[in-house]
């Protein structure tokens, strides 16, 4: 099974439980995050929606191509991983990632990013962010039949850059239905 994240913007309430669970599971220092919940507005809608963003575990990851030491690599299931022992902390991966999903650890001096909780999945567990989601808006696995970032890019170009070069493995339910006028007499 290829690794994908699936995020449903229609049911996400922006509680940040996924962001906090990720931070806790990975023992991240203050100010460091692998996953961030972002608020986004859609044209024609009054309510704001939320998007839970992390590494997209791209089909063609720019971080892997940019790393001079081979510290970034792909697992057979498509998970993009990082080998701290090979990392020299140069930051080329940070600049190459169009999604802003990589940071440099101030404590360890190496690049860091979401691993999709590869260790937890190998034990049959959900990623920490998925396990913490109160509405099950964030899931992982196969996401057949749902729209992807190419579709969502029309509404959120500031949050999600053009995905054509990287092939992100994040599927997002971005169904935006036209508002229907209700006739008060029908109630």
Digits of tens for pLDDT over the chain (187 positions)? Answer: 577 888 888 889 999 999 999 999 999 999 999 999 988 776 677 777 888 999 999 989 999 999 999 999 999 888 999 999 999 999 999 999 998 999 999 899 999 999 999 999 999 999 999 999 999 999 888 544 444 444 444 444 445 666 778 888 777 776 544 333 323 333 2
pTM greater than the 0.75 cutoff: yes
Asked whether 45 and 176 are in contact (CB, 8 A), the reply is: yes
Q: Supply the pLDDT for residue 91.
A: 95
* DSSP string computed for 70-136: --EEE-TTS-EEE-GGG-----HHHHH-TT---EE-TTT-SEE---TTHHHHHTTPPPHHHHH-TTS
Asked whether 179 and 14 are in contact (CB, 8 A), the reply is: no
Q: Supply the pLDDT for residue 164.
A: 76
- In order of 79, 124, 128, 162, 186, the CA distances from 93 in angstroms are 16, 30, 24, 18, 58
Q: How far apart are the first and last CA of the chain?
A: 48
Q: Supply the pLDDT for residue 17.
A: 98
């Amino acid at each position: 099974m290829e690794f994908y994240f699936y995020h449903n913007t229609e049911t996400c309430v922006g509680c940040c439980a996924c962001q906090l669970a990720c931070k806790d599971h990975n023992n991240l220092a203050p100010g460091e995050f692998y996953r961030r919940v972002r608020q986004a507005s859609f044209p024609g809608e009054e309510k704001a929606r939320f998007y839970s963003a992390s590494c997209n575990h791209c089909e063609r990851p720019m971080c892997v191509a940019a790393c001079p030491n081979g510290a970034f690599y792909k697992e057979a299931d498509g998970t993009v991983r990082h080998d701290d022992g090979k990392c020299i902390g140069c930051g080329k991966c940070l600049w190459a990632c169009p999604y802003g999903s990589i940071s440099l650890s101030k404590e360890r001096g190496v690049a860091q990013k979401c691993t999709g909780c590869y260790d937890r999945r190998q034990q049959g567990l959900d990623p920490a962010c998925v396990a913490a989601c109160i509405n099950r808006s964030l899931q992982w696995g196969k996401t057949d039949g749902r729209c992807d970032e190419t579709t969502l890019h029309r509404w959120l170009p500031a949050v999600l850059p053009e995905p054509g070069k990287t092939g992100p493995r994040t599927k997002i339910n971005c169904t935006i239905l036209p508002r229907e006028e209700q006739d008060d007499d029908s109630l």
